[in-house]
Structure 1
Amino acid sequence: GFPTPANVPGELWIGGPGVSRGYVGRPRLTAERFVPDPLADRPGSRAYRSGDLVRMLGGGRYEFLGRIDAQIKIRGFRVEPGEVEVAVRRLASVKAAVVVARSDAERGVHLVAYVVSREEHPSGVRDAAELEKLLPAYMIPSAWVYLERLPLTGNNKVDRRALPAPVWHAARDTVPPRTHTERAIAAAFEHVLRLSNVDRESDFFLLGGHSLLAVSLVAQIERNLGTRVELLDVFQRRTVAALAARVDQGAPAGRSEIWSELASGAGPEVLAMHGLSGRVTDLLALAGALDGRLAVAGLTADSGLDQMSLAELARHHTEEIRERRGQGPFLILAHSAGAFFALEVARALLGDGLSAAVCLLDPPPFETRADAVDEVSIARKWGTEVLAAAGRESESWRLAGASGEAATLRALADAGLGAGAEEGRLLQEELRRYARLFACSREARVSGPRVPHSTVILASEGNGRSGAARAVASWLSVLEEPSTSVVEATHFGMLKAPAVARVADLVARWSVTTGFDGKAGS
């Protein structure tokens, strides 16, 4: 076992001199529960695996989420119903709730929320929408049952056996695929995501897709249709219908689209900048959390843009932004090393006499480096991020001995990621783009205008681990008196539920404090 960061669910282990040696006369159970203590200094020390799923809140406090042995798998993801139950209880409309796993032939394993509501006319659609601000789509209960009170046993515990079976109502009308192309792409969705009955408006990423699965989707669509779609198309046209329309249109003429609309809202528009992957996939959940409050547009680096110098890339993005959004003002958002691209674009806009500000999410230290790029380290870093995107961080040990591009790709294939020839080729392209953009990001320099009205939001278990003041210090040479916030999360966890809701609130607040009123171009 490995310690988990604050606010991340994990099994509670108990160690110390008070832990016994095991269960009398039960050697098998003893071996399961009493294990070597990984944190003890004394050889032979044991720790007790409680089987309780908890989250460390700080100050010696822990939140009980349920039992490890109650975990289930939904769409290939491990889900703890107790964790979902805690989130449901946090909704303002909920007085009491319990979440249980059910299974039937039609839907397989699914979650059902039983709720005592504070509202006179409760709505499962409305509560599910609120819960999506806290949890990823695959953790949202499939059915919501509203009761006057939860049934209790004689011991005053919820009587789960007495909970009624749900009566199913579709959250929205589903429309099956209409054309041959739509049916083939829907079949590709189902194959990659291991789902059934995908309709034409199904969103690949809301169904549980991520950047690595997008690589598999591209390969599967080519197998189904004999037609190649670009990886960028999957990110920009996320539904079956939209992807099918792209395929039926044929290859696009002219320059590649690097702009995508991610969210709409009445507040100022935020421009989401790509990171080292050249994509904005990592920011999709944040854009979803901002939807209805702020408009969000994404800028990618594809089709040769990753071959440019940092100055050339910033100028290209600046021209794209001004062509689409006029004179600004411009609010630019970036995560991790995307901060370097956001900074250069903001400086270019300021140099043109326009107003710009940046919101940097857990950026690495600002360093000016002219030494050669360590290709081995970059390949491992990329591989670690690929595993994180796939929810496979625990297998990062496979990369320990990887000595470059080929070894990193083999390590991922051993983990079942990109094992097919086409998937492997696409992953190789992704790694090479990542390496080129990494080298590009290192061209950032201190010289240039300092960007005003900016903010830095750090992850407590990411680049903010050393403390906010130290983490932001290196950026003070390029940002003018930035505000600083810290979110209890890991570097990538800050972009996922539940932390992403807090990040969205901070981004929305920053957009107001800049004093930039209205949308870009106004």
Structure 2
Amino acid sequence: RLFNTYGPTETTVVATQYEITSSIDINTVLIGKPLNNVQTYILDQYLQPVPVGVLGELHIGGRQLARGYLNRPQLTQEKFIPNPFSNDPLVKLYKTGDLARYLSDGNIEYVGRIDNQIKLRGFRIELGEIESILIQHPEIQNAVVIMRETASGDKQLVAYLVAPEQPINNIRAFLQEKLPPYIIPQNFVFLESFPLSFNGKLDRKALPTPDNLNRNSSNFIAPRDLLEQQLSIMWSEVLELNSIGIRDNFFEIGGHSLLAVQLMSLIKQQFGQNLPLATLFQYPTIEQLASLLRQEANLSLHSPLVSIQPKGTKPPLFFVHPVGGMVLCYFDLAQQLGTEQPFYGLQAGNLDKMNSVEEMAQYYLEAIQTVQPQSPYLIGGWSFGGLVAYEIAQQLQKQGETVSFLGLIDTHIPDDEPLNLEHPLNLLADLFNIERPEIEPEYVNLSQEEQLIYAFEIAQKTNLIPDDFDLEQAQYLWQVYQKNVMALNAYKPQSYTGQITLFQATENTLAQEIQNNLEKWSELTTNEINNYLLSGTHYTIVRPPFVADLALCLIQCLTNLTP
């Protein structure tokens, strides 16, 4: 015969036993029923019996109980308490500190230690209960759940799993069938094994801090436009997470009502939209919230100025859009520069103001001066944006203003040979700051309108563009692009007396071409050019990982400016 026995030393070793007569569920620890002359009680925090199936602390009474701890009266008083079910004040119960529950057949199921019981946002949570459910999942070999505190003091549940890495949504769905929402962990970390202490026990302090990379699963979709990117920044700030997909549910990744209030406050500051708190329960993902904001706020910017990173006390940077007209490409750069450096983008939005580089520069300068009316100015741009920034700097000089910094990121002076239009699919990829997809050969020779429709359909299928981004918007962006190309081909830059800083991409570019571009810019200024040669291609210089080097050089330039 095989028995599983249970009992602390304080109850003379064995207090209950369970006879194993058939195959057992390895995820359930049954400790059976009390021995003769032993009483067991499963009680809540008020020493009241809990119903069958409900967790409580196991208390033990009976003749085999120890009298207490030698020379430790305080601990004895804490652990050996008067039996509330006896009229004799000398009769004691021992508080085991173990979590357990009665089953319908009278047997007791051991769940874990009460040390693992926590209080989170007003709810008392048994971490052992979550762990016991997790290891019922067929692919999870072992599980540990702990509560971690973020830098701001917010508390979150983290589940550490010995299991093959898999989409978190699958595990979360499994838990949702068995647990209430408030005790489902916000973070999941996959490990090959748990760290152990010297004596072979679980070392909870050695469990790694979650890095949120687990959300980079097959279901992860990164922000696809500036609005989604701005919301992503807010969510990261509020939730203190690094990697948030646009379809991650706010409440499933650590959000709660107090954090929701903070998020709505940030949205009001950024977009001027006073959304009710209930909005987040109806639209709990970045994708859904962005769609709502587009409808509510009509975000077809009346001003071309976009505050990509408005925080900080340093003089702001103003960067002009590339030929596609959007400024999402500057998000990574603004992030690398940090929260002390305000960063604004100038985004195309008014076709009537895009007939020439000079006209664009005047329009954007007016917008810049609504934020910063006086010198000194820090201006820049990538590719075509550098040409417009150059023209803005010239117009500022004519106004008698000072341009402390003019940064041109891989910007080339137009040749006599006009620039040809890109394929629309490449344009959409550039606009949403992702790698250019491969274009099927049979689509190359289609008309421009047919190419645009093809590009739009492919972009939708591959989640390259938001769901509410329609063909009409794609056609508008194509018009913006055509206008910019025409303006670029017609622009003849004039001489400039200020300092120019040139950042040139070196990959897939001949050394002679890089030198020729430097010489052309040198002919336009009386000052020596600050020339930085950086890793990356023309398209990747503003994207990770190459954008980190660009940001370091930019920080160095700004630091060296004369106060």
For residue 460 of structure 1, what is the aligned residue in structure 2? 506
5+ long unaligned stretches in structure 2: 1-163, 174-186, 196-204, 221-234, 264-281
Q: Give the secondary-structure state (helix, strand or coil) at the position aligned to 1:474.
A: helix
The CA deviation at 1:330 is 0.9
User: Relative to structure 1, is the Cα distance of residues 434 and 502 closer, same or farther in structure 2, using a 3 angstrom cutoff?
Assistant: same
Select which of 370, 386, 395 maps to 2:428.
386
The CA deviation at 1:433 is 0.8
Question: Is 1:493 the equivalent of 2:536?
Answer: no
Instruction: Indicate if the aligned counterparts of 2:353 and 2:363 stay in contact, CA closer than 8 A.
Output: no
Instruction: Indicate if the aligned counterparts of 1:494 and 1:503 stay in contact, CA closer than 8 A.
Output: yes
Equivalence map 1:438-449=2 (5 Å): 438-449=485-496
Aligned equivalents of 2:442, 2:385: Cα separation in 1? 24
Select which of 348, 362, 381 maps to 1:334.
381
Q: Deviations over 1:225-245 (max 9, x none)?
A: 9xxxxxxxxxxxx89768756
Instruction: Indicate if the aligned counterparts of 2:329 and 2:433 stay in contact, CA closer than 8 A.
Output: no
Instruction: Indicate if the aligned counterparts of 2:391 and 2:493 stay in contact, CA closer than 8 A.
Output: no
RCO comparison, higher one (Cα < 8 Å, 6+): 1
Q: Give the secondary-structure state (helix, strand or coil) at the position aligned to 1:313.
A: helix
Bigger radius of gyration among the two: 2
Q: Deviations over 1:370-392 (max 9, x none)?
A: x7x67xx3042x53242354745
For residue 452 of structure 2, what is the aligned residue in structure 1? 409
Q: Which amino acid aligns with 1:284?
A: F
The CA deviation at 1:503 is 1.0
For residue 395 of structure 1, what is the aligned residue in structure 2? 438
Equivalence map 1:98-497=2 (5 Å): 101-104=165-168, 105-106=170-171, 138=216, 193-197=246-250, 244=292, 247-248=295-296, 256-263=302-309, 264-356=311-403, 357-363=405-411, 365-367=412-414, 369=416, 377-380=420-423, 382-387=424-429, 389=432, 391=434, 393-398=436-441, 401-413=444-456, 415-417=458-460, 423-452=470-499, 454-461=500-507, 466=512, 468-479=514-525, 480-497=527-544
Instruction: Indicate if the aligned counterparts of 2:380 and 2:406 stay in contact, CA closer than 8 A.
Output: yes
Instruction: Indicate if the aligned counterparts of 2:507 and 2:535 stay in contact, CA closer than 8 A.
Output: yes
Q: Give the secondary-structure state (helix, strand or coil) at the position aligned to 1:292.
A: coil
User: Relative to structure 1, is the Cα distance of residues 393 and 342 closer, same or farther in structure 2, using a 3 angstrom cutoff?
Assistant: same
Q: Which amino acid aligns with 1:495?
A: V
Q: Give the secondary-structure state (helix, strand or coil) at the position aligned to 2:470.
A: helix
The CA deviation at 1:328 is 1.6
The CA deviation at 1:201 is 9.3
The CA deviation at 1:110 is 7.7
The CA deviation at 1:442 is 2.6
The CA deviation at 1:284 is 0.8
User: Relative to structure 1, is the Cα distance of residues 194 and 173 closer, same or farther in structure 2, using a 3 angstrom cutoff?
Assistant: closer
Instruction: Indicate if the aligned counterparts of 2:410 and 2:503 stay in contact, CA closer than 8 A.
Output: yes
Aligned equivalents of 1:244, 1:265: Cα separation in 2? 29
Aligned-pair RMSD on alpha carbons? 4.6
User: Relative to structure 1, is the Cα distance of residues 367 and 443 closer, same or farther in structure 2, using a 3 angstrom cutoff?
Assistant: same
Aligned equivalents of 2:435, 2:510: Cα separation in 1? 23
Aligned equivalents of 1:314, 1:451: Cα separation in 2? 17
Aligned equivalents of 1:413, 1:250: Cα separation in 2? 22
Aligned equivalents of 1:488, 1:455: Cα separation in 2? 16
Sequence identity percentage: 15
Aligned equivalents of 1:384, 1:437: Cα separation in 2? 16
Aligned equivalents of 2:537, 2:543: Cα separation in 1? 10
Aligned equivalents of 1:257, 1:301: Cα separation in 2? 9
Aligned equivalents of 2:347, 2:378: Cα separation in 1? 16
Instruction: Indicate if the aligned counterparts of 1:272 and 1:297 stay in contact, CA closer than 8 A.
Output: yes
Instruction: Indicate if the aligned counterparts of 2:313 and 2:342 stay in contact, CA closer than 8 A.
Output: yes
5+ long unaligned stretches in structure 1: 1-99, 132-136, 143-169, 176-188, 204-223, 226-237, 518-522
